[in-house]
Structure 1
């Protein structure tokens, strides 16, 4: 006996619904930073991702905010995957208690592997390396090379000067407003996850 498809079949989610990403690549500093409050919020973020069942994909380090993130997610029962170039592993910077530490040859391979493993990207406070990783993956999205959300977790206003600079780029005609509008900017974890679940990709740059 065959069953006709019911128009109100609830087994399929509406097209507009986007579940939480199952994995998030997190970019953050290999330094702790000057503010204990920032480290505490990074610790809470790692714990929150673990409790949501979201795999943390990160650079594999045990030092700085990277280490805080990994330790907090692991302590909360989460899965953490690190990706690290062999040269850094050999410097004994690798975290030794991860679920999975993937060792690659170069920094380029590291970023590509993290992008493959993640369904979304978030930058927490950090330095030039954090910015470099954030800008690359955000630019890839603008070019249509992926359709995954990219976000800034604006802990204690840490990204406000960057956001102001990006607004200047829009005003100057160097950055399309839709790409800045498509960047998820959140002050806390709940807001970040809510925005990631409702995100839709902006039109790619050359289309």
Structure 2
């Protein structure tokens, strides 16, 4: 793994633990000399991740639609800022450029990106690790819903098996690395 695509909120949430979690994950990525691919925002958890990574000397690859650049949310300090036409283009490039994915706490966009990557993996368009960074139990209810969907026969066990879930950044990145290079 060289680049991790992070999906996260354009807000910081109501609890400071989300900002702390974001910084802890950014530190783990820096310690492992990994670079960041993200949605190029300068606000919320996105901005916190990018700022930390840049300050630590890591590469930050931002991908953002022109519409969001026009409303001044693009992080102009990115190592490389790619401006695309649509959100669909943005999602595809983020999926293509990352070696693995982490969904941090976030809103509707984060959830959409999470499910798109799950689908791309399921349909074998790619095979890359996907992790839920479950800061403060943020994803507990979603995990319960996914398990319910599995129990009801709408999601297969093998679709859920590759999903990495942890609230510990080191454990999360370790599991992602094992996914890419499984032990014999």
Determine which structure has the larger helix proportion and give its number: 2
Q: Which protein is bigger by CA-based radius of gyration?
A: 1
Unaligned runs of 5+ in 1: 1-20, 202-207
Q: What SS does the aligned partner of 2:179 have?
A: coil
Residue of structure 2 in register with 1:127 after alignment:
107
Superposed, which structure 2 residues align to 1:57-68 within 5 Å? 57-68=37-48
Moved over 4 A (4+): none
Counterpart of 1:42? 22
Distance 1:148 1:165 in 2: 23
Task: Give a deviation string over 1:142-181, Cα, whole Å, max 9, x none.
Answer: 0111011111011111111010000001100000011112
Per the alignment, in what secondary structure is the counterpart of residue 199 of structure 1?
Answer: helix
Q: Does the 8 Å CA contact 2:17/2:135 hold for their aligned counterparts?
A: no
Matched, 1:177 2:128: no
Match of 1:196 among 170, 176, 184: 176
How far apart in 2 are the matches of 1:197 and 1:66? 23
Tell me which residue corresponds to 2:9.
29
Using the size of structure 2 for normalisation, the TM-score is: 0.95
Aligned with residue 150 of structure 1, among 130, 143, 148: 130
TM-score of the pair, normalised by structure 1: 0.85
Equivalent pairs counted in the alignment come to 181
Distance in 2 separating the partners of 1:51 and 1:101: 23
Could you tell me which residue of structure 2 aligns to residue 11 of structure 1?
none
User: Deviation at 1:77?
Assistant: 1.6
CA-to-aligned-CA distance 1:24-64 (integer Å, 9 cap, x gap)? 11000001100111111101211221221111000000001
Rounded Cα–Cα distance in structure 1 between residues aligned with 2:160 and 2:79: 35
